[in-house]
Structure 1
Amino acid sequence: MKNILSIVLVSLFVTSLKAQTVTIQGKVTSDNKPVPYAGITLMGTGFGGIADSSGNYLIKNVPRGNYILQASYLGYEHFEKRVSLGAADKIKLDILLVAGNKMLNELVVTGVSRATLIRENPVAIVSVSPKQIEQTSESNIIDVLVKNVPGLNAVKTGPNISKPFIRGLGYNRVLTLYDGIRQEGQQWGDEHGIEVDAYNIDRAEVIKGPASLMYGSDALAGVVSFFPFIPDYNDGRLHGKITSEYQTNNNLTGEGLRLDYNKAHFLFAVRGSYRMAKDYRNPVDGRVYLTNFNEKNLSALLGYKTDKGFTHFNFTLYDNRQGIPDGSRDSLTRKFTRQIYEGDQDTVKNRPVVSEADLNSYKVPALSQHIQHYRAYLHSFYQAGNGSVDLLSGVQQNIRREYNHPTAPGQAGMYVRLNTFNYGLRYNAPQFAGIETSIGLNGMLQNNKSLDATDFPIPDYNLHDGGVYIHTKWKYDKLNVSGGIRYDIRSVQWNDFYIKANSITGFDEHINIPDTANSTLQFAGYKKNFQGLSASLGATFQATSQISLKANIGRAYRAPNITEMASNGLDPGAHIIYLGNKGFSPEFSLQEDIGVSARFRDFSADLSLFNNNIRNYIYLNLVTGANGNAVTDAQGNKTYQYQQSAAQLYGTEIWFAIHPENLRGFRFDNSLAVVYGFNKKAVYKYKGVDGEYLPFIPPLKLLSSVSQVIKPVSKYFSSLTPKIEMEFSAAQNRYLGLNNTETPTPAYTLFNVSLSTEVKYSGTRTLQVQFQVNNLFDVAYQSNLSRLKYFEYYAQSPNGRSGIYNMGRNIGVKVAVPF
C-alpha cells in the first residue's frame, strides 16, 4: 500500500503544473427552436450551468481534460457527449435535444473509476434517474429502486425496512454507498433499513455483480450507490424544493425542504425531512402491530470550486424510531397481542390483545428500536496536469437501540455504537494511446461497542480494512476493454467479553476485566487477518450503431462479518438467536456475465445472462433438537446457526420497451428477472427443498407497464402521464425447506395505476404531482422475501392463514415544488 501511495504522490508532483482553463459555450435547440432553461452539466464535477431564455449557455473556468457533457430538460431525451478540452481557451458546442419521453439510451455512470457511459462498461449497471425516482411512490428508497431495476429485490420486515438483494444475494454481500462513502450501520441485522434521506436522493446506480475491484470486501454481489443533490445552476440565486406526500394505507405523511445556492466559487445546500406512519394494513391481518415509524433527517453541503476542481464538505443526520413486529396473536381471533411480562413469565398465551387505538396511532410503542446515524465527510477532486486526483475521507457513527423489556421500557436490550472512519484516494492518470488508468487505495477503521445493554449477540470489536487497486480502460474504434486487480487485508479483533446478572434488575450486563467473579464468558478473545485478491476483465463491442455486446468475468472477495463469526445470543429486534463460527474462511466468487443491448427508433431491449460460483458461501440454518423440532426459548424465538459451503447462482434479466416514434410519448415497458441458487454441499445434492436450494431466492418476476405522455394545450399543465402497471411474481417452489427454514410461496399478481403531471405555476417553473395506487385490487399476498411471512407462533390457524401478509391497497399523492 505504501508503494502505491508513493507512486501517486510522485505522479502528482511531476504533473502538478498550473491548470489552464477553458470556457464552453453554445446554444440548446430542438427542431430549430431554442430550448430555454435547459440544464447542462459536466458529469462527475461541480461545473455546469443553465441556458438562458434564448437557449444560450456558458460554462467558465473548466480545467482542461476529458469530460462527459450532459444536457436535459423536461419533455426531451437526455443528451450526452464526450468532450476533450485541449489547447483552445474557448470552445463552441451546440446541443440538439430530441423531444420525447424515452428512457435514457445512454446514461452516465460515476460509480466506477471515472465518468463513463453504460454502453462502454462491460459490467451490468442500471442508472435510476431523478425523474424515475420522482415518479415512483413507495414506502422507502430501496423499494423505489426495486421498481426500476431488474434483478434488484428487497428482503422486507415491514414497509420501512428493506434490505437490497442483487441476483439472490444480500446483507453484507451488497455494498451501499452514499455519495461514494460506504454506508456502515450493522448491515448484518434484519430489522432496520438503509439510513438515508429518500427526499435528498437525486439519482442512484445499481452495479449488478462482483464490484470488489473498486470497493473491497462486501461488494461481492454488487453495489447500490446513492447520489444526493448537488446544486448545478451556477446563477448566484437561491433555489429550493419542497416535497410533500401522503399515503393512505399506513397514513404515511412526509415533508421535505431543500435550499441551495451555486455561483462562482461557492455552493451550498441545506436539506431536512420528516416522515411518520401508522401500522400498515392488509385484508387478512388488518393493521399489523409494531410496523409504525417516525423518521427525521437533516443534512448540509458546503462546496468550494476553483479552476482546478472542487472540495465538498457534507454532513448528514438520520434519526428513526421504528416498531419491531413480532407477530404474536390471540390463537382464536388472530388479533395481535403485546408483551407485558419478562423472561419465563412471558408466553404468547398470556399476552393481551392490542387495542384499536394503539393500532391506529402514530405513536411508536415503548418496545421498539431507535436508530441514529451521523456522517461527516470531505470529497475533493482536482486536476493535476492532464490527470486528476479524487480524495474521500469521512467519519460516521451508527447507534442502534432495541427496547424489549416491558417491565423496564427505558432499558435497551441491544445498545450498540459503531464508529467508522472511511478513506479513499484515487489518481486518474492522463490518457495515453487510448488507455485510461486509475490507481487507488481505500478502506476503513471501525470500533463497535455495546453500551448500557442487557443482550449481547456480538462482542465489542475493532476492525481495520484496506485495499489497493489498479483499473485500466482501453478504447479502440468500436471496442472497449477494461479490467483491473485489487488486494485487500482486513483485521478483526476482540477481547474476552464477560456478562453477569445484575443483582438489582436481574438483567444481564457487561462486566469489565478483572472483575469477573460469578460471571459468564460470552465471547472468548479473538484476532484474525483476512486477505483476498479481486480482479475483473471485460469488453464491450459496438457491433452496429444500434447494437452493443458485453462480456465480463470478475472475481470478488468478502470477509465474514461479525455476526457470522462471533454471534452468540438473542438479537431482540430480529427475534432470532444467532450462533456464529470463528473458523470461517472468506467468501470468493467467480462470476461470468454476457449481455446485449439494442436501441432502435421504435424499440429498445437489454439481455443479460450471469453465472456465479461462490466458494465458502455462508448461510443460516435452523437448529433442531433430537425430536426434529426447532430449538426455541420461552418466547418462541428460534435458533439459527451459520454454516459454510460452496454455492452457485445463475439467471437472466430481460428488458424491452416499445416506443413508436409516430406515437410520441407512448411506452410499453417490460422487464423479467429470474435467479436460481444452489447449495453445492455434497450431502444436499439432488435433495431439492431439503437443503439443495439457497434461502431468500426471489421467484421469477415480470413487470409490465403502459404509459402515455400527453402534452395538453393548456396554460396550467405542461404534461400529463397516465400509467398502468402489472407486477407478477411466480410461485417460489425452490426454497430452503430443511428444518422448515422456509416454506413455498404462491404466485400473485398486483396492478398499480398512476398519473404524473407537471403544473405551471410561475413563468417556466413547474411543480410535479404524482398520484399513484399500489395493489389496486387489494390482493392478499405474501412475498417470499418478506420476513414477516414467518412471524407465526401457532402450528394451526382458524382462518387457514399463517404469518403476516404484505401491504394492501395504498393510495399515494406526492407533490414536489421547485422554487
Structure 2
Amino acid sequence: MKMKFLGSLLLFILPVYIYAAVAAFTGKVTDVKTNEPIIGATITIPQLKISTTTNASGEFTFGTLPARGRYVVEVSYVGYQTSIKTVDLSNPASLTFTLTPSIIEAREVVVTGTVVASNSKNNSTSAAVVSKEDLQGSYTNLIDALAKQVPGVSQITTGPGISKPVIRGLGYNRVVTLSDGVKQQGQQWGDEHGIELDQYQADKVEVLRGAASLQYGSDAIGGVINLVEPLAPAPGKIRGEVLSNYSTNNGLTGSSLMLTGNENGFVWRGRGSYQNAYSFKTPAGYFPNSGFNNTNLSGMVGLNKSWGYSHLNFSYYKNNIGFFDPETVNDLYTTEHSRTLDYPRQDIRHYKVALNNNFVIGEGSLKVDLGYQKNQRRELEDSADPSLFFDLNTYSLDTKYSLPARNGWEPVIGLSGSIGHSVNKAEEKLIPEYNAYAAGIFGFVKKTYGANTVSAGVRYDYIQNKGKQLFEEGAERFPGFKNNFSSVSGALGYTHVFNEYVNFKANAGSAFRAPNPAELGSNGVHEGTFRYEVGNGNLKPERSYQADATLEFGNGILTGSVGVFENYIHNYIYASNTNNETIVVPTEDLGTYPVYRYGQVNANLYGAEASLTLHPVSFIHFQNTFAYTHAQNNTFDRPLSFIPAGTLRNTLRFEPKVKGLHEFYFYAGVDNYFKQNRIDATFETPTDSYTLLNAGIGTTIKLGAQRFKVYVSGANLTNKRYYDALSRLKPGRISQDNLNLGVYNPGRNITFGFYMPFNLK
C-alpha cells in the first residue's frame, strides 16, 4: 500500500516534465579591481543542484534552466569574497559577477537547509556553514569536527568511536541530522547510539541552531545538521576526489574515493569510504577494546533538466564498535591496542534509499523527498549471537511547494509524514516493539523590503506511538501503550542589513517534541550504558518557547558575530537515577544495576555564542570563538544534567606566500574548557577546567592544473589528562556497585592527511 501511494504521487507530478520550457543563462566573472576575467570560478544554483565553472575568458553558461522563476546564484573563488545574486530567469540577460579580493572568503554564503534557500545575511536562522576542507584535521568523525569549530555545538562521546550532536545544550531526539533530504533515523534515543553517516561524504555541512521544527517537525526542537552532498559538474564533465588520513592516537586510518559526472543532464555519483581504528590512548594508557571500523558505500543517479531534477540516492553503512567489558574493571588501561575487536561490541548496519525531486511549475516549484531506511543495531555481549537486536524500518515523505514570488513575498506550504516499525530480534529486550506514525503540515511566508526581511510560519503536527504488549514467563514485561500527540507551533523571524559590513537577525517562536517509544516504554538492561532503564507511558510532549538574536559584522580587518538565546521547555524529558535506586538482575554479569527512570520537569536554557577574527594583515588571522549554555531544572531548583561546559577557543593562523606552494598555512591554537560544576548531583559528577594545545600545517601543491592538498594537524599536544563534561566515560557517569569508570579523554593525537580533487573529462 505504501508503494502504491508513492507511485500515485509520482504519476501525479511527472506530467510537469512535458510542459517544461528551457532558458539559457550566461555570464562572466571578473576581478572588481582589474576587470580581468577569473578562470575556474565556481557558479552554483543550489535550488536546482547544478554548478559550472568559468572558462579561459571568465565566462560560464547554464543551458538547460527553467524558463521562469527566481533562483539564488552563488559565485565563489579562492581568495575572493563570495558573490550572491537572485536571478529572474524570465529575463535571463547575461550577467557579470565582480568578485572582490578578500582574506575573508565565506562570510556570505547560501543556506539551503531552511524553508527558503537564501543568502545567510537575509536568513533569520542562526546558521553556520563548514566547508569540506574545514572538516579535515584531527577529527575522529563528522560530529567531532563540527563540535570543535561551530560555537554552540558540542558532543556526547563514548570514546572517539561514538559522538552524538548537541546544540545549545539539547541532544538525542531534539537534533535532526539530515542527509539526502531525509531525516536520519538511527534510534537516536540511546546514549551510545551515534549517527550512521560517512564523515567524508559532505561537500559542506550547514548547522542550524535553535528550533527548526517548522520545516522538519517534532525532532528539530534543538536544531538541524544538514549534510550537503557534492553537486554534479557541468554537462560533459567527470570529476572526483580522493582523500586519506592517519591519526597516531588510535591508529585511525581513513580513505574515501568519489566520482561524479554529468552527461547531458544525466548525473551520477559514487563513493566508497573506509575507517579503521584500534583502542584510543589516554595519558594513562590505552582504553581496552575501544576500537572501531566502518564501511560506507553510496551512490546517486538522476536527471538535471529544465523541469528541475530527480535524483535517486542509495547508501549502505556498516559500523563495528568495541565496548568496555565490566569484568576487567581492574584494568581500565592497557598497553595492548589490537585492531581486532573483542566482545562486547556493536554491529550497526544502516540502509537508505532516497528519491529527491524538485519540479518546476511555472514560476514556482514542488520539492518532493521520499525515503526508506532500515537501521539494524546489534549489541553483541559475548558472541556473534546478539543479546539485543533492534530492527527499525522507516518510510518518510516530505513535500514543499514554493509559490511564485510576488512583490517580495515568498510563500511556501509543506506536508510531511513518516511511518516507523521497530521489532526486537534477540532474546533480551529493552524497548517494546512499536509502530510510530507522524504527519505535519506547515505554511511559511518571507518578505523582503529594502534592507529588511521578515518571515512567519505556522505548523500543525500529529504523532501516534503504539507499543506492543509482551508477556514473558507468565509475567507482563511491556504493558503496551498507545499515545496520540498533536500540537500547533509558530515562528517569527527578522533580519536587517545595515550595510555590507553589519547585519542583525532575530527569531522567536514555539516548538514541540513528542516523547519517543524508548522514553515511553523501556524496561530492561541497556548493555551499552550499564544501567536498567524504565520508561513512562504517561509522558507528555515537550513544549519549547525560545528566542535568539545575533549581530554579525565584518570588514577587511575585523569579522565576527555575537548572539544570545533563551529557551524555556515545559515538560522536558530525561532519565535520572534518584535515591540511588538499584535492581538485581541475576542473569547479567554485573548483577546489580542502577535504575534510570524517565520523568519530566520544566527547564530553562539560555546562553551566548560569539566569534571574533582579527586580520591585522592579509596573511595573519586571529580566530576566537566562545560558547556558554546555562541550564536550570526549574521544577527541582537545581541544574539540568549533562550540559556542556563553556568554551573559549583561540587560534592564530598564518598564511604567508611561499614560492612554489599554494594556500600554505600553519596555525597554533588553545582550547579552553571551563569548569562544569552546574550538575545534577543526584547522579552526575562535576568536571574541572582544562586547556588543550593544538597546531597544524598544510599546503596545496599544484602539478599543472592538478591540486594536491597535504596537511599535518595535532590535538592535545601536551598530552593533557582531562575529563570532558559530556564524556560518558568520566567518573561517576557510569556506575554500579562494582563499576565506576573514570577514563580520561584521548591524549596527544597527530593526524597526517591529503585531499586531491581531480577532473577526468
Scaled by the length of structure 2, the TM-score of the pair is 0.94
- Relative to structure 1, is the Cα distance of residues 766 and 12 closer, same or farther in structure 2, using a 3 angstrom cutoff? closer
Give the superposition deviation at 1:794: 8.4
Of 777, 791, 808, the residue aligned with 2:718 is: 777
| C-alpha separation in 1, matches of 2:547 and 2:105 | 27
Matches within 5 A, 1:617-632: 617-624=572-579, 628=580, 630-631=582-583
Whether 2:469 is the aligned partner of 1:496: answer yes
- Contact 2:103–2:556 at 8 Å: present in 1 too? no
Partner of 2:61: 58
Q: Residues of 2 paired with 1:279 and 1:468: CA distance?
A: 46
Q: What one-letter code is carried by the residue in structure 2 that aligns with 1:173?
A: R
Asked whether the 8 Å contact 1:280–1:287 carries over to 2, the reply is: yes
SS at match of 1:788: coil
- The structure-2 alpha-carbon separation of the partners of 1:78 and 1:542, relative to structure 1 and needing over 3 Å to count, comes to closer
> Partners of 1:103 and 1:241 in 2: how far apart?
22
Q: Which residue of 2 aligns with 1:366?
A: 343
Contact 1:467 1:489 (C-alpha < 8 Å) held by counterparts: yes
Q: Partners of 1:706 and 1:83 in 2: how far apart?
A: 39
Deviation at 1:773, TM superposition (A): 0.6
Closer, same or farther: CA 87–9 of 1 in aligned 2, 3 Å = farther
Asked if the contact 1:16/1:385 (under 8 Å) is kept, the reply is no
- Residue 113 of structure 1 corresponds to 115
Name the CA distance, whole Å, in 1 between partners of 2:30 and 2:133.
Answer: 21
**CA offset digits 1:522-543 (Å, max 9, x no partner):** 1123212111111101111123
From 738, 741, 746, the equivalent of 1:807 is: 746
Counterpart of 1:256 in 2: which secondary structure? strand
SS at match of 1:33: coil
Q: Is the 1:327–1:792 contact (alpha carbons within 8 Å) kept by the matching residues of 2?
A: no
Give the partner amino acid of 1:694. Answer: L
| Conservation of the 8 A alpha-carbon contact between 2:26 and 2:59 | no
Question: Is the contact between residue 729 and residue 741 of structure 2 (CA under 8 Å) also seen in structure 1?
Answer: no
1:470 and 1:275 map into 2 onto residues whose CA distance is: 42
Q: Aligned pair 1:719/2:654, yes or no?
A: no
2:148 is paired with a residue whose SS is helix
Q: What is the DSSP-based 3-state SS (H/G/I as helix, E as strand, rest coil) of the residue aligned with 2:642?
A: coil
Separation in structure 2 between the aligned mates of residue 629 and residue 559 of structure 1, nearest angstrom: 27
Deviates more, 1:548-557 or 1:94-103: 94-103
Larger Rg: 1
Shift of the alpha carbon at 1:120? 1.0
CA distance in 1, matches of 2:35, 2:16: 47
Task: Look up the match of 2:695.
Answer: 753
Change (3 A) 1:589 1:45: same
Q: Is the 8 A contact 2:456 2:493 kept in 1?
A: yes
Match of 1:377 among 335, 345, 354: 354
1:418 equivalent to 2:401? Answer: no
Q: Counterparts of 2:551 and 2:643 in 1: how far apart (Å)?
A: 25
Q: Which residue of 2 aligns with 1:676?
A: 630
Query: Could you tell me how far apart the structure 1 residues matched to 2:16 and 2:700 are?
Result: 52
> Per-residue displacement from partner, 1:377-425 (whole Å, max 9, x unpaired)?
1011121011111010010100000011x3xx12211101000001011
Structure 1 counterpart of 2:276: 276
Q: Deviation per CA, 1:164-198: give whole Å up to 9, x if none.
A: 01111100111111122000011001113111111
Q: Deviations over 1:231-263 (max 9, x none)?
A: 2x2142332211111000000111111111123
In the alignment, is the contact (CA less than 8 A) between 1:154 and 1:162 conserved in 2?
Answer: yes
Which of 395, 400, 407 aligns to 2:377? It is: 400
Cα displacement string for residues 296-337 of structure 1 (whole angstroms, at most 9, x for unaligned residues): 000001121211211111001100111122565454xx445x
Residue of structure 2 in register with 1:603 after alignment: 558
Q: 1:710 aligns with which of 656, 661, 664?
A: 656
Alignment of 1:119-138 (within 5 A): 119-134=121-136, 136-138=137-139
Match of 2:416?
442
- 1:548 counterpart = 2:503: yes
| Aligned partner letter, 2:664 | L
Change (3 A) 1:122 1:326: farther
Question: 2:719 is aligned with what amino acid?
Answer: D
> Alignment identity in percent?
34
Give the Cα separation in 2 of the matches to 1:106 and 1:23: 23
2:3 matched residue in structure 1: none
**Does residue 459 of structure 2 align to residue 486 of structure 1?**
yes
Q: In structure 2, how many angstroms separate the alpha carbons of the residues matched to 1:327 and 1:704?
A: 39
Q: Which amino acid aligns with 2:706?
A: R
Residues 10 and 373 of structure 1, relative CA distance in 2, 3 Å threshold? closer
The 8 Å contact of residues 327 and 803 in structure 1, kept in 2 or not, is answered as no
Counterparts of 1:220 and 1:644, CA distance in 2: 16
Output aligned runs, 1:631-646, within 5 Å.
631=583, 633=585, 634-646=590-602
- Which residue is 1:68 aligned to? 72
**Alpha carbons 1:100, 1:665 under 8 Å: kept:** no
C-alpha separation between the residues in 2 aligned to 1:417 and 1:102?
A: 47
3-state DSSP of counterpart to 1:457: coil
2:520 is paired with a residue whose SS is helix
Tell me the secondary structure at the aligned position of residue 339 of structure 2: coil
* 1:52-451 matches, cutoff 5 A: 52-63=55-66, 64-88=68-92, 91-134=93-136, 136-231=137-232, 233-284=233-284, 286-326=285-325, 329=328, 331=330, 334-335=331-332, 356=335, 359-404=336-381, 406=382, 409-451=383-425
**2: distance between equivalents of 1:171 and 1:152?**
13
Quick one: which amino acid aligns to residue 439 of structure 1? I
In the TM superposition, 1:506-585 aligns within 5 A as: 518-585=473-540
Deviations 1:134-191 (A, max 9, x none): 3x33000001111221000001011020010111110011111112200001100111
Contact 1:632 1:639 in 2 (8 A): no
Q: Following the alignment from structure 1 to structure 2, what is the Cα–Cα distance between the partners of residues 367 and 545?
A: 56
**Structure 2 vs 1, CA of residues 266 and 519 (structure 1 numbering), >3 Å: closer, same or farther?**
same
Partner amino acid, structure 1, of 2:423: K
| Partner Cα separation in structure 2 for residue 14 and residue 238 of structure 1 | 29
* Letter in structure 1 aligned against 2:112: T
- Aligned mates of 1:330, 1:171 — CA distance in 2: 28
- Are residue 470 (structure 1) and residue 443 (structure 2) matched? yes
Cα distance, 1:280 vs structure 2: 0.2
The SS at the match of 2:422 is strand
Residues 352 and 374, structure 2, Cα contact 8 Å, conserved in 1: yes
> 1:795, CA displacement in angstroms?
8.4
Distance 1:10 1:320 in 2: 39
Match of 1:339 in 2: none
The change in CA–CA distance for 1:802 and 1:130 in structure 2 (over 3 A counts) is closer
Looking at structure 2, the residues matched to 525 and 630 of structure 1 have their Cα atoms a distance apart, in angstroms, of 24
- Deviation string 1:189-231 (CA, Å, 9 cap, x unpaired) is 1113111111111111111111111111111111111112222
How far apart, CA to CA, are the structure 2 residues paired with 1:18 and 1:240? 31
Structure 1 residues 488 and 643 mapped into 2: Cα distance closer, same or farther (>3 Å)?
A: same
**Match for residue 5 of structure 2?**
none
Distance 1:750 1:229, change over 3 A: same
Is residue 2:614 matched to residue 1:658?
A: yes
Conserved? CA contact 1:326–1:575, under 8 Å: no
Closer, same or farther in 2 for the Cα pair 1:81/1:415, shift >3 Å? same
Equivalent position SS for 1:142? helix
- Residue identity matched to 1:779: K
